[in-house]
A and B are shown apart, each in its own frame.
Chain A
């Protein structure tokens, strides 16, 4: 313990508990929030397109996707600020159609924070509780509790414009949490924070969520954030959901080419299956004629067009030809990007005009001179299980 710098927050020991939390895999589990065939159009734009989704009680659910893919619209429909053109949204089995925002069991932390500028921090946090008509003493107690929770004790009397951006964001979080909503909606909650504060707040969010046992739905642009926080991630594209799965599944087993490309770095190689057996499939890439061996996916037969997705860190890079590798390709280093924790190599495979492969190599020593240099001839190799086969 003594050796660790104090600013590093302890990694959550919840790893195992989280792994056991998988209500979506249990057919008997009752979802808390359900979207059924929900569509929302703005004029000619279809912001959300026939979307079906279930979110379970106690889940930390992240929405990830490119700008304009409908994340905010999805949240705003759940909060009641937009009405779906068709489809059904329910919380706890209750259809939300016709229920105004002020009678929904959701609270939202706005992307712009939307703090009331004419009220003190305390009054902002107390606002929701006052609407419930709670007794004065109870409100005061809850406000104090919330201020302590977001570590803003002593700032209760200030106006929002007397706070820093990070403090404002905490007030917004406290205000949204004060009513203990069944579902807390967070629209890019940490967007305005610097990286350090952001990481610290991420852990706080996680702690809060497991402490209070609430259900969080969070929009984010930051895939690391989604990976770190969420039980499941929904990757959206063009108003539809491309894949909903736990972070490790999204990363290691992307369902589509879009998901593979959107989350993390990836090498994509297109080809055709030439041979398929119980043990492996063999793929021949289109113009270059490279042969790639991969684990056999279900339902793909010889002749089928596939894309092989290969994460950069799954590929080994060596000067010497690896004798036993299932997949090996000779190439030449075109570019080296030093990124601190790892180095990203761009390797041209199969001579002039061949594809560029990204290969990530963890920097496990502090040596600055690396044995691999520009224009070196190298070998890339990877296991059969490393390549992800995607249809098309």
Chain B
């Protein structure tokens, strides 16, 4: 009994498409609908313009993109967005600087330890993200663990003010997203053919040269995947800047939260979310292009 190829393909492609439609496209459509509504003192607090295909004409007539105009007019949103991109980029770079040596050490460890090391990297996920970020407050506070240790050691004479600064946000972001950097880089390094490193050494390359000319170029797909996995969620991160950041830490996730819950301006918050998503398409395409180049 021959199952038609088309039918077979539908079975293979169907479930992921259904998943995407149900949990990505549909919610996105809902958010877009809210973004194109007017704020109203109602429950939920908006008056939708879009009321189905039958009222398409009325919808198009009322379409003013008012919320988007507000966002573009108020420099707060642009600043928050730029600041988010900057912090996320910095966090990605730091995660790479910390994560690469970590992944390298893991990949060079004796084979029988490697599974245990991978488990250790993802072990923090066993506890709640929120609790782990709270824990950083206890560490970074003026009278926190870090300052206590540094004072005792005589490295500093008065407590450092780290909590509620951008530094704390960076620490939090790097800490939270480090596993997403370490794991793909480790996977790439672990796959790397040892004899290539030996060949480079044999041809006269000392350790640092080998790292730069062989190891890193061959680990590039892993590095790009890691950078992508850290950067994209870090841009929209809310919990870390909210708990560790100060009043002057501007991140788009926090702005969105404030608009949504404090100001109860759902259409505006939704518009911010839509813009953020569209803006992230750029970096996504960029990473994809790079990864394609690295794979070829």
Write the residues of chain A forming the contact surface with B, with a CB cutoff of 8 angstroms: 79-81, 100-103, 106-108, 110, 112, 114-118, 127-128, 131-132, 175-176, 179
Contacting residues, chain A, for B213 (C-beta < 8 A): 127
Tell me the nearest residue of chain A to B200, going by C-beta. A127
B218 partner residues in chain A, CB cutoff 8 A? 117-118
Q: Given the interface contacts A114-B193, A116-B214, A117-B218, does A131 sit within 8 Å of B204 by beta carbon?
A: yes
Inter-chain contact B198/A128, CB cutoff 8 Å: no
**SS class of chain B's interface: helix, strand, loop or mixed?**
helix
Contact between B209 and A131 (Cβ–Cβ < 8 Å)? Answer: yes
Q: Are A128 and B195 in contact (CB under 8 A)?
A: no
Residues from chain A with Cβ under 8 Å of B202 in the complex: 79-81, 101-102, 106-108, 176
Q: Which residues of B contact A132 (CB under 8 A)?
A: 204
Query: Which residues from chain B contact A103 at a C-beta distance below 8 Å?
Result: 204
Residue of B with least CB distance to A133:
B204
A114 touching B195 in the complex, CB below 8 Å, given contacts A101-B201, A102-B201: yes
Total interface residues on B, CB under 8 Å, equals 17
B155 to A: closest C-beta gap in Å: 37
| CA–CA, A267 and B204, complex, Å | 49
Given contacts A117-B218, A118-B217, A127-B200, contact A112 B195 (CB under 8 A): yes
Q: Hey, which chain A residues are within 8 Å of B203, CB to CB? A: 102, 107, 127-128, 131, 175, 179
A110 to B195, CA, bound (A): 8
Asked whether A102 lies within 8 Å of B204 as measured between CB atoms, the reply is: yes
A-B contacts at CB below 8 angstroms, number: 59
Check if B205 is an interface residue, CB within 8 A of chain A.
yes
A108 to B199, CA, bound (A): 8
Known: A116-B214, A117-B218. A102 touches B206 (CB 8 A): yes
Q: Are the C-beta atoms of A81 and B198 separated by less than 8 Å?
A: yes
Instruction: Report Cα–Cα, A132/B204, bound state, in Å.
Output: 7
List A contacts of B198 (CB < 8 A).
79, 81, 101, 110, 114
Task: Say if the beta carbon of B122 comes within 8 Å of chain A.
Answer: no
With A114-B196, A118-B217, A131-B209 given, is the CB distance from A179 to B204 under 8 Å?
Answer: yes
Can you name the residue of chain A whose Cβ is closest to the Cβ of B195? A114
- 9 other A-B residue contacts (CB within 8 Å) besides A114-B196, A116-B214, A127-B205: A79-B202, A101-B198, A107-B202, A112-B193, A117-B218, A118-B217, A128-B204, A131-B209, A132-B204
B220's nearest neighbour on chain A, judged by CB, is A118
Give the docked Cα–Cα distance between A100 and B193 (Å). 20
Q: How far is the CA of A297 from the CA of B247 in the complex (A)?
A: 99
CB closest residue in chain A, given B196: A114
Contact B205–A102 (Cβ < 8 Å) = yes
For A101, the chain B residues whose CB sits under 8 A away are 198, 201-202
Q: Complex formed: what's the CA distance from A275 to B196 in Å?
A: 61
Chain B min CB distance to A332 (Å): 54
Least Cβ–Cβ distance between A306 and chain B, in angstroms: 46
A132 to B203, CA, bound (A): 9
Q: Which residues of A contact B199 (CB under 8 A)?
A: 108, 110, 114-116, 175
Q: Which residue of A lies closest to B294 (CB)?
A: A118
- Residues of B contacting A175 with CB < 8 Å? 199, 203
16 chain-A/chain-B pairs, Cβ below 8 angstroms: A79-B202, A81-B198, A100-B201, A102-B202, A102-B205, A103-B204, A106-B202, A107-B202, A108-B199, A108-B202, A112-B193, A116-B196, A118-B217, A127-B200, A132-B204, A175-B203
C-alpha spacing A176/B214, complex, angstroms: 17
Residues of A contacting B205 with CB < 8 Å? 102, 127, 131
Chain A residues, Cβ within 8 Å of B200: 116, 127
Q: Please report the C-alpha to C-alpha distance between residue A108 and residue B206 in the assembled complex, in whole angstroms.
A: 16
- Tell me the bound Cα distance from A101 to B196 in angstroms: 13
Interface 0/1 of B204-246, CB less than 8 Å to A: 1110010001100110000000000000000000000000000
Q: Which residues of B contact A80 (CB under 8 A)?
A: 201-202
Q: Which 5 A-B pairs have the closest CB atoms?
A: A128-B203, A131-B204, A114-B199, A114-B195, A101-B201
Which B residues touch A100, using CB under 8 A?
201, 206
Q: In whole angstroms, what is the CA distance A185 to B201 when docked? A: 14
